[in-house]
């Protein structure tokens, strides 16, 4: 933890990143001071000796495992726990320093080489559009119609406790304060004292969540992100965007214009999560309205303090009557109504008698009052006042509404099939579940067109209506009672046929939903993606359905399960082709299409920088409209702090504008043919191991901490869809998490390396590959992300786990084969990029990875040892705690988990 830590890697940094190195050095020194004070000189010296050994071993280019083990083996269980905590804490502090550096460079409009997502903001995009000859009116029209919706989801491998996140945010604030150039020596020392106090507080806090969060807890975490960051970030980001548009000479957009909005899956995603019930969804929707009323109340209180002027328009005075403070008179009415709304929601949550006071039930009711004030201020020459806090509140209202977040519902298609099967059997019509697709469609369309009720109250008391069927229908009743404003999309996971979509429409009708949620099929396996266009085309051939979606259709593209099914490369190409075909079908039918991307943080789950992600999409598929999931850890990294959140919102607007108006060219025929060849080889190579090698499941459960993940109180959703079984029962997120923990990163590269190697060996394909990498954004994105993840892979680390945890010849055989495949993938990547060392074009990211290695290496060795010891015992509280700390620490060191 000494100051030498940062100096050891200075040679790979660049001048503009000197403040980052200084922050890392400072935090390391302060953590070292805390360790000495709290754990004693002996533990501090032990940690330093282990760290220095790891540094020297890495410097020699070959890890001296024996030396590190000799230092770790003599330590008792309690000391192992403290050592793990020390290394884990430093990795979290290093992340804070990096996040703070992003804020610093965003503010200074500098390019951050360690973050490819920051290389083109709105100013650069507007300049490029002008250079490309795009007229201002076209730009303004796309911006005016733009819809970017970010869907916040819980993350089952988010390991950092909210209590610690708050402390880390305070540390970041103190680093910001220390950046001020006008500080004197006393002020600087005082800030360092506060910094040491926060690090001490973090050290004294249990890193591990002891109780699994409920879906309501997860939803509250999403609300807290809005309250603590996004509430400020949205108007802050909009002002920055407004300034850039004015600088480019574009006419101003409406005062409350906001192209980005937020939705949520927290409390609505019931796919495989029995903890998400109709009652939970109802509670989350109520809590969201409660929080929204409270936040708007704070805004209105501030407006009451400021809007003391008496000059007002006739329109406003007609509403208030003669008054010396007409604005305050109207705002008091708004305040009283918000208070009533908040009290009403509180009563609903606690099951108390509902009040009869006038509450806000629609966003337009609050917006009408605020817009009346806005028009009056502008009419009497007080536009500067209208452009202050009032404008911020109007933008918040346009973004969040009175419901804070639109809640999506997600359910697996088989649950809908089971519900309708129960109904048809009750009605003595036969078994819906056994009918073929044509018979299902005929039944569904007849009932959707009919007027009579399909079931009566007796159905709910019958033997056919079991608990699962009852829950599906109860969810639809929540939709009926809540109304459309607080609800987003009804997402059907594992959608495979037209009847899957029609079924949800009928279930909503059965319970009396007056304003049905839009139904969004999610295509997520390789076969489903390949058949997505056929499925949607069949739906659009149905006149009733085509009329229902005349104003627009949304289709969700799954990244997690498709990559788990077919591997990274095969899934990526299937996603690209599915979007191409869907875009063409809906363009032909003249129906607006919004593609909903179910991305995660890791590359095998679609994770990539915003601009890269959007410009990698097929030409015409963005069209000013996009929906994207933002998951747990990425919410914290991208939206946890207002300035970073504002920057990322601008990035989405810029990238959506660019992808809409100057999309990449259509891929050439020879590129498509090459991708077909690559993906065929890649899928075969991936499935050869994941599906066909009988040792794979045993290797996963023996050598990785996959089974130990169940000990962590992570998300509310179970890690498996069902108990037992093989890889097919494991959710995509923990599947990625387990391989990341041992640095093998298997889901991100398996199959891809063999495909590239084969193509590079063929002169004609070799030339085509290099052309694709130079000219095709889709392929460039794949290669860049593959390089980033392979820079984090380490075959030596993976071998440590194997050496400590198994003697099975079959598992040892498979481990050697996987490491050999990874080595060939690295060679193929070098042959394609022409770079001998990974990330030669990205020195800061390379520095970021290298600076963490001396802290992650001991954690990996500790984790393997702890896994071995725990598997020999029934339970051990200290060892279990230490293991959980290593999991959390490695996740922090890798900067992405699932």
List, by residue number, the catalytic residues. 155, 564
3-state DSSP percent of the chain in helix, strand and coil, to 5: 65, 5, 25
Do 732 and 720 touch, CB atoms closer than 8 A?
no
User: How many whole angstroms separate alpha carbon 703 and alpha carbon 742?
Assistant: 8
Among candidate residues 792, 772, 794, the one with its CA nearest the CA of residue 783:
772
H-type alpha helices, 551-609 = 560-566, 568-589
H-type alpha helices, 179-277 = 185-203, 215-225, 231-247
H-type alpha helices, 590-631 = 610-615
The gap from C-alpha 486 to its chain's centroid, in whole angstroms, comes to 21
Measure the CA dihedral 22/28/32/33, to 10°.
Answer: 40
User: How many whole angstroms separate alpha carbon 592 and alpha carbon 589?
Assistant: 9
User: How many whole angstroms separate alpha carbon 810 and alpha carbon 802?
Assistant: 12
Among candidate residues 75, 104, 102, the one with its CA nearest the CA of residue 87:
75
Contacts of residue 815, defined as CB under 8 A and 6 or more positions apart, other chains included, come to 699, 703, 798, 799, 802
Do 863 and 709 touch, CB atoms closer than 8 A?
no
Contacts of residue 194, defined as CB under 8 A and 6 or more positions apart, other chains included, come to 174
User: Which phi and psi angles does 102 have, rounded to 5°?
Assistant: -60, -45
User: How many whole angstroms separate alpha carbon 572 and alpha carbon 116?
Assistant: 20
Residue 291, Cβ density class (10 Å: 0-12 exposed, 13-18 middle, ≥19 buried) = buried
Measure the CA dihedral 246/252/253/259, to 10°.
Answer: 0
The gap from C-alpha 118 to its chain's centroid, in whole angstroms, comes to 18
For 377-388, letters b (16+ CB in 10 Å) and e give bbbbebeebbbb
Residue 514, Cβ density class (10 Å: 0-12 exposed, 13-18 middle, ≥19 buried) = exposed
DSSP state of 728: G
User: How many whole angstroms separate alpha carbon 607 and alpha carbon 613?
Assistant: 8
Among candidate residues 67, 214, 218, 15, the one with its CA nearest the CA of residue 843:
15
Residue 660, Cβ density class (10 Å: 0-12 exposed, 13-18 middle, ≥19 buried) = buried
């Amino acid at each position: 933890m000494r100051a030498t830590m940062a100096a050891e890697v200075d040679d790979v940094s660049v001048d503009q990143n000197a403040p980052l190195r200084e922050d890392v050095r400072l935090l390391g020194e302060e953590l070292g001071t805390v360790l000495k004070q709290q754990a004693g000189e002996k533990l501090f010296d032990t940690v330093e000796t282990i760290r220095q050994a790891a540094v020297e071993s890495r410097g020699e280019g070959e890890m001296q495992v024996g030396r590190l083990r000799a230092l770790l083996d003599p330590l008792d269980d309690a000391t192992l726990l403290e050592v793990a905590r020390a290394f884990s804490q430093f990795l979290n502090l290093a992340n804070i320093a990096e996040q703070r550096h992003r804020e610093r460079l965003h503010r200074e409009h500098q390019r951050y080489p360690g973050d490819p997502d920051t290389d083109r903001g709105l100013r650069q995009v507007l300049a490029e559009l002008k250079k490309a000859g795009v007229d201002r009116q076209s730009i303004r029209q796309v911006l005016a119609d733009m819809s970017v919706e970010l869907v916040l989801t819980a993350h089952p491998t988010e390991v950092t406790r909210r209590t610690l996140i708050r402390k880390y945010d305070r540390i970041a604030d103190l680093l910001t304060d220390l950046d001020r150039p006008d500080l004197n020596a006393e002020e600087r020392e005082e800030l360092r004292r506060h910094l040491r106090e926060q690090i001490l507080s973090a050290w004294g806090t249990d890193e591990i969540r002891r109780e699994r969060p409920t879906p309501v807890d997860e939803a509250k975490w999403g609300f807290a992100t809005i309250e603590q960051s996004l509430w400020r970030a949205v108007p802050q980001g909009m002002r920055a965007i407004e300034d850039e548009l004015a600088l480019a000479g574009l006419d101003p957009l409406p005062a409350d214009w906001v192209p980005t909005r937020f939705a949520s899956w927290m409390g609505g995603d019931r796919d495989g999560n029995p903890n998400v019930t109709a009652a939970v969804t109802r509670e989350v929707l109520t809590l969201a309205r409660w929080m929204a009323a409270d936040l708007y109340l704070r805004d209105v209180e501030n407006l009451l303090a400021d809007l003391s002027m008496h000059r007002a328009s006739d329109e406003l005075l007609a509403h208030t009557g003669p008054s010396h403070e007409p604005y305050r008179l109207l705002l008091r009415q708004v305040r009283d109504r918000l208070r009533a709304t908040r009290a009403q929601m509180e009563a609903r949550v606690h099951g108390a008698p509902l009040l009869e006071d006038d509450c806000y039930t629609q966003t337009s009711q609050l917006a009408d009052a605020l817009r009346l004030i806005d028009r009056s201020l502008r009419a009497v020459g007080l536009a500067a006042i209208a452009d202050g806090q009032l404008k911020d509140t109007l933008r918040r209202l346009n973004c969040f509404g009175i419901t804070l977040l639109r809640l999506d519902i997600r359910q697996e298609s088989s649950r809908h099939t089971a519900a309708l099967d129960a109904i048809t059997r009750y009605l003595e019509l036969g078994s819906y579940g056994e009918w073929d697709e044509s018979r299902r469609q005929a039944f569904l369309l007849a009932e959707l067109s009919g007027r009579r009720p399909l079931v009566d109250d007796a159905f709910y008391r019958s033997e056919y209506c079991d608990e699962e069927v009852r829950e599906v229908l109860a969810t639809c009743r929540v939709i009926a009672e809540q109304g459309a404003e607080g609800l987003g999309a009804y997402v059907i996971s594992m959608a495979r046929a037209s009847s899957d979509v029609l079924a949800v429409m009928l279930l909503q009708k059965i319970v009396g939903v007056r304003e049905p949620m839009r139904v969004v099929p999610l295509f997520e396996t390789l076969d489903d993606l390949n058949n997505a266009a056929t499925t949607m085309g069949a739906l659009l051939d149905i006149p009733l359905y085509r009329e229902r979606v005349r104003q627009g259709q949304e289709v969700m593209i799954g990244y997690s399960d498709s990559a788990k099914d077919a591997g990274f490369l095969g899934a990526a190409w299937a996603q690209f082709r599915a979007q191409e075909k869907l875009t063409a079908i809906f363009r032909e039918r003249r129906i607006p299409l919004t593609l909903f991307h179910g991305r995660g943080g890791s590359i095998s789950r679609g994770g990539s920088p915003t601009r890269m992600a959007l410009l990698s999409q097929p030409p015409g598929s963005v069209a000013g409209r996009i929906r994207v999931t933002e998951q747990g850890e990425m919410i914290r990294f991208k939206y946890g702090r207002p300035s970073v959140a504002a920057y990322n919102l601008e990035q989405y607007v810029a990238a959506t504008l660019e992808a809409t108006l100057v999309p990449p060219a259509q891929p050439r025929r020879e590129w498509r043919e090459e991708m077909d060849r690559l993906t065929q080889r890649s899928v075969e190579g991936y499935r050869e191991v994941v599906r066909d090698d009988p040792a794979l499941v045993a290797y996963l459960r023996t050598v990785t901490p996959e089974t130990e993940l169940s000990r962590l109180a992570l998300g509310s959703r179970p890690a498996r869809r069902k108990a037992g079984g093989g890889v097919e029962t494991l959710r995509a997120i923990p599947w990625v998490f387990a391989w990341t923990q041992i640095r093998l990163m298997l889901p991100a590269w398996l199959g891809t390396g063999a495909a590239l190697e084969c193509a590079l060996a063929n002169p004609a394909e070799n030339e085509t590959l290099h052309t694709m990498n130079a000219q095709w954004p889709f392929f460039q994105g794949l290669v860049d992300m593959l390089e980033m993840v392979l820079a984090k892979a380490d075959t030596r680390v993976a071998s440590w786990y194997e050496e400590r945890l198994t003697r099975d010849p079959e598992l040892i055989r498979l481990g050697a084969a996987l490491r050999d495949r990874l080595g060939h993938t690295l060679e193929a990547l070098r042959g394609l990029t022409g770079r001998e060392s990974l990330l030669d074009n990205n020195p800061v990211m390379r520095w970021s990875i290298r600076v963490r290695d001396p802290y992650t290496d001991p954690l990996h060795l500790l984790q393997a040892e702890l896994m071995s010891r725990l598997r020999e015992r029934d339970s051990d509280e200290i060892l279990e705690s230490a293991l959980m700390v290593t999991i959390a620490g490695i996740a922090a060191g890798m900067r992405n988990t699932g």
